[in-house]
Amino acid sequence: MANITIYLPDAIEKKVRKAAKANKQPVSRWIVDRLTKDVESGWSKAFLDMAGSDPDFPDASTLRSGYGPDSPREEFK
C-alpha cells in the first residue's frame, strides 16, 4: 500500500479525527474508506437505469418553453 502525505487545515483535521473515532477506525482507515467510496462508486447502476424511464417526464423542448429566445453567444476562436 502506498503512503501519501496530505496537508489539512486544522479544522478539517479535527473533524476527520472526530469522524474516525466515532466510527471506531484509525484515521488512515477512515480516509481510505471515504476516498474509495467517493472515487470508485460514481452513480449506481439503478440510478442510471432510471434515466428516461418516466414516460410522463417532459422532454427538453417542453422544459425550455416559456423562457424566450436564448442569449446571443460569443463565437469560439
48 is a domain residue = no
Residue 60 covered by a domain: no
List the domain range (segments joined by +) for residue 27.
14-38
pLDDT digits (tens, 9 = 90+) for 10-53: 999 999 999 999 999 999 999 999 988 877 767 778 888 888 88
Residue 44 is predicted with a pLDDT of 78
Query: ∠ CA 34-29-14 to the nearest 5 degrees?
Result: 75
Amino acid making up residue 35: L
Q: Is residue 32 part of a domain?
A: yes
Is 21 part of a structural domain of the chain? Answer: yes
The Cβ of residue 24 has, within 10 Å, a number of other Cβ atoms equal to: 8
State the total domains in the chain: 1
